[in-house]
Amino acid sequence: MPARGDPPEGTPEDVPGPGGEEEYRSVVFDESFVRAARILEYSAQERSGPEARPVRTVGPRREGPVGHSAARQVYAIVLLVAVALGVVVFMGRNNPYEQAGQPSAGDLRMSVTPLVPRGPVPAASENPDARSEGLFAGSPAADYRSGAEGITLPGARATAHFTEDQVLRGLVTVKDFLVASSIDPGALTGGDVRGVRTLLDPGQHDQFDRSLEAPEDDGRHLATGWMVRFDPARTELADPRVRVRGTLEVREAAGSLLQIEADHTYVYAVRPAGGKDGGEGGEPSLFAVRRAITFQLTREDLRDGHVVLVRSVAEAGPQACEESFAEYYRPLPAGAEADGRGGTDPYDHGRPVAAACGVLVRKG
């Protein structure tokens, strides 16, 4: 017969000890466990009533110190999450590597200074003793290199945010642009300029297109601010080889942009369109253009082979100050004169580029 308090069926065979007590002897119900219990048994007096229930359910105990502590913990967690989200958003907006990947192309600011000759424009003639120099013999450009060889690249070095390979790619892309915009015969003679446009960041295409469609001397829409162009109705190249000398310098700009400064003098042998050597008004002469251009490249530009022109300043002559040069350069022919004072030497890179009409002088 089962003892009082035992299960009606008796003690299960698989439970050790009488009633399985051995299994629970190691279990300790401390005060915190008891206080957290959700079901409490009514007292004998409470259970004696007609509508009494054997047990009652209670909510979690909220003692003053414990409740305030829990509230503080919840507040601290919420505050930490908010701070963490704020840091993530801030870093996302201010990460220089992310900024560098965003298009940053803005309007190009440009200026062109015409250089008036001092006296008649000298004719260019070949020196029989210096055939290799051709029409450039006796000029400051006699020892300049021809074409793309005149645009020499400095040694590529890594910067704070750009690798050596990225710097080299930037230099090569800038050189490609200078060749396309200052040396390529098609662009020089008012022909195909797709080679120039293709190298520009797409963000500058609209300004470039407007500069060609409606050129204006407003500091933003000079076709001659983007490239060297001669009016094919008035000027032609007497020698397709362009003499070039200058420098390229690399640095970083704000926002982790790769900035390249180009400062070159290009010298062209030109003559009036349709003229012939020795013919009236057809003698060749030299025309010099000094171009100082600031390029800025993002990582996307480096990847896609694009450049962004930030500033373009040019001096060009001999030409008359009163001539319009927004669309084309208009070289004065050999023997022509124009009024001017002072003196500006486009071959001298030791001084800043002029910002107003100057007088063309040259050394030698």
**DSSP secondary structure string, 142-194?**
TTSEEGGGGSPPPPP---SSS-HHHHHHHHHHHHHHHHHHHT-HHHHTT---H
| Per-residue pLDDT tens over the stretch 179-215 | 999 999 989 998 899 999 999 999 999 999 999 999 9
| Per-residue pLDDT tens over the stretch 104-140 | 457 899 999 999 988 899 999 776 555 567 899 989 9
- Integer angstrom CA distances of residue 12 from 63, 157, 180: 42, 84, 97
Looking at residue 96, its pLDDT comes to: 41
Query: Does the pLDDT of residue 277 top 80, yes or no?
Result: no
Looking at residue 88, its pLDDT comes to: 46
Gap between the Cα atoms of 187 and 192, Å rounded? 6
| Per-residue pLDDT tens over the stretch 80-103 | 766 666 654 455 444 443 343 344
In this structure, how many other beta carbons lie within 10 angstroms of the beta carbon of residue 358? 22
Sequence letter at residue 69: S
Q: Average pLDDT for residues 320-339, to the nearest whole number?
A: 88
Looking at residue 198, its pLDDT comes to: 97
Looking at residue 246, its pLDDT comes to: 98
Q: For 1-5, 70-74, 234-238, 287-291, which range has the lowest pLDDT when averaged over its residues?
A: 1-5
More confident residue, 47 or 315: 315
Q: Average pLDDT for residues 32-36, to the nearest whole number?
A: 52
Confidence grade of residue 278 (pLDDT, cut at 50, 70, 90):
very low
Give percent helix, percent strand, percent coil of the chain, each to the nearest 5: 30, 25, 45
Q: DSSP assignment, residue 344?
A: B
Domain boundaries in the chain? 1-61, 64-94, 98-360
Sequence letter at residue 124: A
Gap between the Cα atoms of 51 and 5, Å rounded? 26
Beta carbons of 362 and 315 less than 8 angstroms apart: no
Looking at residue 164, its pLDDT comes to: 97
Q: Which of 31-35, 50-54, 63-67, 235-239: highest mean pLDDT?
A: 235-239
Angle subtended at Cα 277 by Cα 273 and Cα 283, rounded to the nearest 5 degrees: 65
Confidence grade of residue 285 (pLDDT, cut at 50, 70, 90):
very high
Q: Average pLDDT for residues 300-321, to the nearest whole number?
A: 95
Confidence grade of residue 52 (pLDDT, cut at 50, 70, 90):
low
Looking at residue 338, its pLDDT comes to: 78
